[in-house]
Amino acid sequence: MPFEYLDNRIGQAIVQWRPTQSTQAFASYQTVNSRHGETYFPEMSWGYNTAVEDNSYMTRLGLRHSLTENSELRALWSIQQTDQARNNIDFNNPPNTWSDSAISNTHSEELQYRRSGADYATQWGVQQTRGQLHRQDPTGFVYNDDTIIGRQFYAAWQQTLNPQWQLDAGLGLGKIENLDNAGYGNNLNLERWLPKLGAVYTPGPGTHVRLTAWDGMGFGEIGDATLAPVSLAGILLTRPGDNQLNRMLVHGAAVGADKQLSSAWVLEGQTQQRKTDMPVILNAPQQDLLRQQIDESRLALHWQPQDKPWSVSLAYDDERIQIDPRYNAVDSVSEQRLRSQQLAVRWFASAQCTVNGVWSHNQVAGMEQYDLDSAGFPISRAYQDGFNQLDADLSWKFNKSGLLTAGVRNAADTRFKYAEIDKLSPRFSNGRMVYGKLKMAW
């Protein structure tokens, strides 16, 4: 099907150089060719299908210099260019077809100082990102012509107070501007203080409790330039949707715990709430913030006997997404809940070979927008779906620095309805996806 496929081809080369004992440098070049289908407003009468092809080229240069035994300076420069072509077909009968294209160029710079000791670590840094996005149709009509500028100053501190307590703290000042060069009046800006606070409590051997609360801003992941940790007190702070074109302001809080029940059994759980504010222009020139809330919980039990070449995990995920009712969602979903039960098995076939298999049973229920009322607000109706997924992969370490991985996502080739799908690295696959990865170093 022209609008139900995913074909990603990725190539990367990395060169590392150590001119002195205290200085390391690296350069990397990566290409990504992604061909996939998308559907916009699938339940609306004005919806349409799109066949997308992205070609991205990314270059990164990095430098790491040790000033003393426990302090260092890091610098990173990245540049990325993406060319996109889209062929569109709407839901009319007979359908209308049209095409458009987009070009984006973005560069990012980051400078960071780190210092650490026996029971502490600190870092200070500054990051800047600047990009240009231009999208038009074959006649020359310009849909978007935007300049995006992001800056962030930040400081982070980690301190072990005693065997029971570890504290993580951070403070940043972030600013993102979206300048509408096409003159449509869609200038956007966000400027916020970004505090972070986390703690790890260890009441006894094999037991950890993790608490975090933070504000963050979705800076562009150009070349993965951010050197600051993406986790706080062992809890992941980011999701793929944080870094959208008009960026996000994230407010989050989470609590997690793990317990070593015995030498072979580990129990862990986590619950997290995230509220993301997206700046938009609903009534120019006033800027509004549309809120999306995500509540997610996970409970997992792991078994890995010391004398057996395998491990088994059972997990349950519960995720609920709520979107601001003023927002006419592109995927037509205004509210969604996902329940997922997962069984994962890992077999250590030998010192060089590892086999992984994951089976999951998933149930989805939500509300989808299908029309507008007389005031222009979306009208929704309920839906539900269920699907199973089977993933498997084989990793072979054929020498000291070489690794070959081959796998398949969604071996059962099941169709389903689920809104949170990242096209480059999907949590679930709509259709079978076969992939291979080769890593070599010399």
**According to the model, what pLDDT value does residue 409 have?**
86
**According to the model, what pLDDT value does residue 181 have?**
92
Return left, alpha or beta for 419; rule: phi > 0 is left, psi -120 to 50 is alpha, else beta: alpha
**According to the model, what pLDDT value does residue 222 have?**
41
**pLDDT, averaged in runs of 10, over the chain (442 residues):** 71 90 94 87 87 92 94 92 93 92 91 92 91 91 90 92 94 90 87 95 94 84 51 82 66 96 95 91 82 94 92 96 78 90 96 94 92 81 92 92 90 77 70 82 68
> On the CB side of 406, how many CA atoms lie within 13 Å of its CA?
2
**According to the model, what pLDDT value does residue 287 have?**
87
Tokens describing residue 130: 């600047």
Cβ pair 353, 394 in contact under 8 A: yes
CA distances from 370 to 88, 322, 331, 334 (A): 20, 16, 11, 10
Handedness of CA 356, 359, 365, 371 (dihedral sign): positive
Collect all residues with Cβ–Cβ distance below 8 Å to 126 and sequence separation of at least 6: 110, 111, 112, 151, 152, 153, 154
For the beta carbon of residue 303, count every other beta carbon within 10 angstroms: 15
Measured CA to CA, the distance from residue 238 to residue 222 in angstroms comes to: 15
pTM over 0.85: no
Tokens describing residue 329: 């969602």
Measured CA to CA, the distance from residue 80 to residue 226 in angstroms comes to: 15
CA distances from 439 to 14, 30, 377, 400 (A): 11, 14, 51, 11
Domains in the chain with CATH codes: 61-439 (2.40.170.20)
Cβ pair 213, 255 in contact under 8 A: no
